Amino acid sequence: MKNSFIGKVSGYFLLIAISIVIIFPVFYTLSTALKTNAEAQTFPPRLLNFKPTSENIKYLAGNEEFYAAIKISFLVAIFTTLLVVIAATPLAYSLSRMNYPGKKLIVLLVTLVQVTPAIVLLVPLFALVSKFGLYDKVITQVLILSALILPFATWILVAFVKSIPFELEEAAFVDGASRLQVIWHIIRPLLTPGIMTVAIFTLIGAWNEFLVPVIMSESKAKPVTVFITRFITEKNIDYGLLAAACSFLFVPVLLFTIFAKRFIVGGLLAGSVKG
Amino acid sequence: MVTNEIRTVRRYSRSSGLAVLFSLPGLLLLISVVLAPLITGFYYSLTNSSLISSAPTKFVGLANYKSEVFTAKFGEALRVSLLITFFSILTQLLAGYVIAKVLARSMKGTSFFVSVIMLPMLLTPVAIGMMWSLMLNPDIGAIKWLQSFVGLDINFLSSSGTAMGAVIFLEWWGHLPFVVLVLMAGILNLPKEIIESASIDGANWWQLNLRVIIPMLAPVIAVIVIIRSVNAFRMFDTIFVLTSGGPGNATVNLPFLAYKAAFTYFDTSRASAISVAIVAIVMPVYFIFLKMTKV
């Protein structure tokens, strides 16, 4: 079976079939983005035989509100990534290598975030955020998203820390190195791939986030994911424009993935199988 | 054993001041974004607090639970959540297993197909949902066109059964990569000798898969089911843009029910009661997670 001709052919057939199911919506989005609204609404849809236009992309690029939304999306993604790395890295090290009061509470809270739907936290958070005047601010989204992504990031990094043999640290201690020296000179370089993995997942996750900003923003801190939902409430949806806006969300991730692929696969496995 | 214990003690004994410093940023985030709202939410659930009414906040006991949780509407949303979770994971495991087996053969081009199969989990769910709703448009959508080749013309979002099917399909589509990649790693890690000796002993394809490979994969499958059920249970973005819970309330799951109570009807206290009930429902999974974590 393994090497038989039929096995190979049916294997490729399956992989090609599933690839079509996966690529079709993405292809449909990118091609519709290059169509005028009239052409996007022809039936049957023209998949390849249409005249591409950059009209939608130009319109969005010149649209102030869309430009602001893109800026917010980038800001939230970048600052969330920074905060998650700053909070999760030392936390993961302390959880796997140190003993201290409060450790149990951290594990209980981290795990709770993992299993609870975020809406459970967002209902009371909305009231608190409004009360403290933090509504519709980038910082609010950054703080909330960081806490929501923290568990995933922490467990990935715990798996990475645990894969570093303790003997390495021990030897350095014996040679008289301090804990901070050990962390800086031994743990930090070995942990870099883990930190990269966490940063990549956080960047993509924050960029794609919808629930937190749809609740926590109104105008000043509205990212692209919330911006595009205006199209569902409009009676006459401009197909081309909507697809172009969605493409603005997809393309950075697609480009980014090309170089980040090995970290993404590795991170998934560290987070589920090893951890 | 003994050296291990000594090592553990040593590993943990140094500098607890540093430990506090290391855990502080994470702990502060968790307290302000998780613990504080949980306590506040529980308090709200026992009051009549609302975002639009200016009436003074009053303690109402379990009234919100009576009107929001022990109702047919809540039961229906729970059923929707469980159906999405069950059917998306079942179909992901079936399809994921077959795909992972093929990928694990490491044929030419496997790496390319892995890249393609990874895509859904990286692309913005809310944008994917919007594009699917265009494709499912009953007049001019691409799905209507594809159906015409097999002589069908179903308007998926118009009736409750097919709308659920569409929601489950999108959950399946979006998280298939995770299932495939983890299963593939599991299959590649299996001891080859056992599989080979079973096939030398004359096990056929079905026996090999059902009696040898799948039982050995059981721990991996268990991890997938646990992680995926937590995520499928909290599904939100796609429902928001694809069906908005419709037709009627056919695709309102628990998170969407809580969202609507809080941000469509602006009833914080009732939404909080729903939220507390959701936490109670996920408690068994919480304990499984706690058991699985070893730090």
- The structural domains of chain B, with segments of one domain joined by +, span 17-61, 64-292
* A164: CATH: 1.10.3720.10
Taking residues B253-263, report their average pLDDT: 94
In CATH terms, B64-292 corresponds, of 2.30.30.180, 3.30.300.30, 1.10.3720.10, 1.20.1250.20, to 1.10.3720.10
Closest CA to A152 of B231, B91, B28, B240: B231
Residues of chain A with C-beta less than 8 angstroms from the C-beta of B241: 229, 232
Closest CA to A117 of B87, B46, B233: B233
Tens-digit pLDDT profile for residues B120-174: 999 999 999 999 988 998 888 888 888 888 888 888 888 999 999 999 999 999 9
- Give yes or no for a contact between A38 and A219, defined as CB atoms under 8 angstroms apart: no
- Give yes or no for a contact between B29 and A147, defined as CB atoms under 8 angstroms apart: yes
| Distance (Å, whole) CA A113 – CA A242 | 33
| Distance (Å, whole) CA B271 – CA B256 | 10
Put simply, whether A134 touches B (Cβ < 8 Å) is no
Is A242 a member of any domain? no
Which A-chain residues 59-78 have CB contacts (< 8 A) with chain B?
none
* CA torsion angle B286 B167 A26 A19 (round to 10): 80
Measured between CA atoms, how close is A191 to chain B, in angstroms?
Answer: 16
Q: List the domain range (segments joined by +) for residue A204.
A: 63-227
Nearest by CB to A246, which of B44, B130, B293?
A: B130
Which B-chain residues 194-253 have CB contacts (< 8 A) with chain A?
205, 220, 223-224, 227, 230, 233-234, 236-237, 240-241, 244
Tokens of B17: 């001041």
Band (B5; pLDDT cuts 50, 70, 90): very low
Cβ contact, residue pair B13, A99, below 8 Å: yes
- Give yes or no for a contact between A203 and A77, defined as CB atoms under 8 angstroms apart: yes
| Distance (Å, whole) CA B34 – CA B30 | 5
- Give yes or no for a contact between A273 and B226, defined as CB atoms under 8 angstroms apart: no
Number of neighbours of residue B191 by Cβ within 10 angstroms: 9
Residues of chain B with C-beta less than 8 angstroms from the C-beta of A80: none
Number of neighbours of residue A246 by Cβ within 10 angstroms: 29
CA B257 to chain centre: 16
Name residues whose C-beta falls within 8 Å of residue A165's C-beta, 6 or more positions apart in sequence. none
Tens-digit pLDDT profile for residues A99-149: 888 889 999 999 999 999 999 999 999 999 998 999 999 999 999 999 999
Q: What percent of chain B lies above the pLDDT cut of 70? A: 94
- Tokens 């059902």 sit on residue: B210
| Distance (Å, whole) CA A97 – CA A166 | 9
- Give yes or no for a contact between B85 and B233, defined as CB atoms under 8 angstroms apart: yes
Tens-digit pLDDT profile for residues B29-40: 999 999 999 999
Cβ contact, residue pair A268, B11, below 8 Å: no
Q: One-letter amino acid identity for A94?
A: S
Is A54 a member of any domain? no
Band (B15; pLDDT cuts 50, 70, 90): low
Cβ contact, residue pair B114, A265, below 8 Å: yes
| Distance (Å, whole) CA A182 – CA A176 | 10
Tens-digit pLDDT profile for residues B47-105: 888 777 667 778 888 988 988 899 999 999 999 999 999 999 999 999 999 999 999 98
Tokens of B183: 């299963």
The ipTM assigned to this model is 0.89
Is A8 a member of any domain? no
Put simply, whether B266 touches A (Cβ < 8 Å) is no
- Tokens 């937190």 sit on residue: A212
Is A100 a member of any domain? yes
Q: In what helix (H) or strand (E) does residue B141 lie, and over which residues does it extend?
A: none
* CA torsion angle B260 B261 B267 B268 (round to 10): -100
Cβ contact, residue pair B134, A144, below 8 Å: no
Is A258 a member of any domain? no
Number of neighbours of residue A7 by Cβ within 10 angstroms: 14
| Distance (Å, whole) CA A240 – CA A34 | 7
Greater confidence (A120 vs A37) lies with A120
